[in-house]
Structure 1
């Protein structure tokens, strides 16, 4: 008899400005590989700072303003994330002058990439551009370069950003997730019903995957 069981659906609500989204995804990917679970991942937009101006903001100033984080706490957190990233094969480079940026256009470009099956590829490229290379993701020219570098095509990417054709649908999708009670990222939803918030450890993700497999057995 042919096994027609559908792949495990995993929805991830995230923002490319979120370092824990990188860490959480990498930990999930490690757990999925170890568990050998057939799966499909769907990325969804969330803006941590929808009112961020185009010029962005220094990360230390941003964290102090938004969360009351002291310079010492900020440095400790960045060191911890850098170490965690290294364990997972991702390079965080929080150099002096590292800035947070507005991400509305990145989400529009990601929506477009999804139409040609390249959303996850672009998502990873954007994470690397921001956290490893410190590129300005609120600069449309930079976004076009990143899209072109992974083979999506500069002309089409530029057109998507210039005419803002996906602005309304991205706003609508962001609002949908907010209405579901999601106010922070990363958020993982398994099989449209099991919601997990935050960057869980590899072991926690393995446990979740095991429970889901047992439910389907």
Structure 2
């Protein structure tokens, strides 16, 4: 999504709230077949996601596993304070959805931090001490309070837009 353009067009301040997507996933990850066994046709859904990503020019590769994003979310809150929240989120998206990297592993997250020029030692400390765990917990509670069950979910006032969408859908969401 072209967030800067949307912010300028509507004079918005965006607030990112992280969401507990499969929070019980172990660090080594879990196969999508296991996670959705008997509930979702994984190949069909991945094909649909690929089509949407292609239509929006988003990098996306077919993957076989999901990984726990809690640590990435905590480090993302830290990256926001460093002024690189959007760059961090973009890099994590690329790592997870396009490259299939395990974003639950601190080594993967530190590599992302390093690629952005952020202080690696500080990031390692943030991960070890779970400095931003409370901020993530607050976001998770907010998501529950708003009945958010899918990512990405976009809210404006009392209206909601779910999923990756064309720019015009965001314009309609905000215009009402």
**Fold match by TM threshold 0.5:** yes
Q: CA RMSD in A?
A: 2.3
Quote the residue 1:205 is aligned against: 170
Q: Spell out the pairing of 1:134-153 with structure 2 (5 A cutoff).
A: 134-153=100-119
Q: Spell out the pairing of 1:31-42 with structure 2 (5 A cutoff).
A: 32=6, 36-42=9-15
Deviation at 1:74, TM superposition (A): 1.8
2:163 matches 1:195 = no
Deviation at 1:169, TM superposition (A): 2.8
Q: Give the distance between the partners of 1:29 and 1:164, measured in 2 at CA.
A: 28
Q: Spell out the pairing of 1:106-125 with structure 2 (5 A cutoff).
A: 106-125=72-91
Partner residue of 1:43 out of 4, 9, 16 = 16
Aligned residues: 175
Q: Give the distance between the partners of 1:36 and 1:29, measured in 2 at CA.
A: 10
Q: Is the 8 A contact 2:152 2:163 kept in 1?
A: yes
SS, match of residue 188 in structure 1: strand
Deviation at 1:184, TM superposition (A): 3.0
Q: Give the distance between the partners of 1:208 and 1:180, measured in 2 at CA.
A: 17
CA 169–207 in structure 1, closer or farther in 2 if over 3 Å, else same: closer
Q: Give the distance between the partners of 2:98 and 2:109, measured in 1 at CA.
A: 15
CA 169–91 in structure 1, closer or farther in 2 if over 3 Å, else same: closer
Q: Is the 8 A contact 2:75 2:126 kept in 1?
A: yes
Q: Give the distance between the partners of 2:107 and 2:142, measured in 1 at CA.
A: 29
2:145 matches 1:158 = no
Structure with max Cα Rg: 1
Quote the residue 1:55 is aligned against: 28
Of the two structures, which has the highest relative contact order with CA contacts closer than 8 Å and spacing of 6 or more?
1
Q: Give the distance between the partners of 2:18 and 2:9, measured in 1 at CA.
A: 27
2:51 matches 1:77 = no
Q: Is the 8 A contact 1:54 1:138 kept in 2?
A: yes
Q: Give the distance between the partners of 1:206 and 1:47, measured in 2 at CA.
A: 27
Q: Give the distance between the partners of 1:133 and 1:44, measured in 2 at CA.
A: 24
Write out the 4+ residue segments of structure 1 that deviate beyond 4 Å after TM superposition.
28-31
Q: Normalising by structure 1, what TM-score?
A: 0.72
